[in-house]
Amino acid sequence: MTKTAVITGITGQDGAYLSALLLEKGYRVVGVVRRSSHEGIAAHRMRWLGIADKVKLVDGNLADLSCLIRIMQDAQPDEVYNLAAQSFVAASWNQPLLTAQITGTGALNVLESLRIAAPKARFYQASSSEMFGKVQEAVQSETTPFYPRSPYAAAKVFAHWSTVNYRESFGIHASSGILFNHESPLRGLEFVTRKVTDGAVQIKLGKARELRLGNIDAKRDWGHARDYVRAMWLMLQQDEPGDYVVATGRTTSVREMCRIAFEHLGLNADEHIVIDPAFYRPADVEILLGNPQKARTNLNWHPEIGLEEMIREMVDADLKRHRA
């Protein structure tokens, strides 16, 4: 029988790639989207992947429990993936209450809607490596204590522990993926990877002369979103739910990531990058490095796309966009 999946945050990077994966596996995919005056923008990532006409989009908002209950009653999902959030860390200092409401309480609303309307559905929560923040261990695993350093990270900690609570209290098959940074050509321009690849392309094409960045010595464990949504799906295929770190086990500085992007275009990053204090965060996370051993062992998951290949793919996609 055809399985049904409900995805919140379906219009984001992960939602688009996850939709494509589930459609390949024969799922019926229902996506929850906020009403917007910008008609047509919502599906642009799915149009990029060629799947915009293959998913069903329904109006909904994580702040409205009643609409979530109705969505679950109508869809009767086998699996629910909560990817929706105010997901830009820098914006969370300017919009801390909104971030808490959508990223934190919104996840609780989805869980509550499942408990009421679809208790047999399997649930995935998009947790984040930002929860580790001021890292308490050199390499972060599922047992590393959280130390959030932004309103976004604090909201994600709330959502994560809510998922654990509903799993233990109500027997819901609820899993969390503690995903480290994952990128792709579908990443938004507000994120540093796309800012770098798009900025490098603009410089190559003579549309800009410099790229202004903040702390380029910050280090992250970067993977490809296409690999990471596969881990999400695998979690919900297990007999027992659980929490999993999804990472590559390799950390790279923003500076090195810039070098890869600029060199792909025959440019020297040092000649074009300008450090701008305006882009420094009030409290920064200096280094994140994940240990994905549990995912490797239990899920038989491993990343297939390396950092260099991913950055070159993003640069090529931005070249295509600008030339179009």
Q: Above pLDDT 70, what percent of the chain?
A: 97
How large is the average pLDDT for residues 9-31? Answer: 97
pLDDT at 39 over 80: no
What whole-number percentage of the chain has pLDDT above 90? Answer: 87
When pLDDT is averaged across residues 184-195 and rounded to a whole number, the result is 93
How does DSSP classify residue 277? G
Q: How many residues does the chain have?
A: 324
Question: In the predicted model, what is the mean pLDDT of residues 180-189?
Answer: 94
Name which of 131, 125, 129 is nearest 109 in CA terms: 125
Categorize the per-residue pLDDT at 210 as very low, low, confident or very high, splitting at 50, 70 and 90. very high
Per CATH, the number for 188-220+251-288+305-323 is 3.90.25.10
What is the pLDDT at residue 296? 98
User: Among the ranges 42-46, 86-90, 253-257, which has the highest mean pLDDT value?
Assistant: 253-257
User: Which pLDDT score is estimated for 41?
Assistant: 59
Domain locations in the chain as residue ranges = 4-182+222-246, 188-220+251-288+305-323
262: exposed, middle or buried (Cβ count in 10 Å: 0-12, 13-18, 19+): buried
Tell me what pLDDT residue 88 has: 73
- The whole-number average pLDDT for the span 61-65 is 96
What 265-270 contacts at long range (C-beta under 8 Å, 24+ apart), as own/partner pairs, is: 265/200, 265/201, 265/203, 265/204, 265/315, 266/204, 267/200, 267/203, 267/204, 269/200
Which contiguous run of DSSP H or E holds residue 220?
A: strand 219-220
Q: Work out the average pLDDT over 108-125.
A: 98
Gap between the Cα atoms of 269 and 261, Å rounded: 8
Q: What is the pTM of this model?
A: 0.93
113-127, 235-249, 283-297: segment of lowest average pLDDT: 283-297
Mean pLDDT of the chain, nearest integer: 94
Per-residue model confidence as pLDDT tens digits over 128-148? 999 999 999 999 999 999 999
Query: According to the model, what pLDDT value does residue 277 have?
Result: 86
Asked whether the predicted pLDDT for residue 36 surpasses 70, the reply is: no
β-pair partners for 140: 290
- At the fourth CATH level, the homologous superfamily of domain 4-182+222-246 is NAD(P)-binding Rossmann-like Domain (3.40.50.720)
- Judge whether 119 and 73 are in contact, CB under 8 Å: no
CA dihedral sign of residues 61, 67, 73, 74: negative
Q: Which two tokens stand for residue 203?
A: 């410089």
- Check residue 180 and give its pLDDT: 95
pLDDT > 70? residue 173: yes
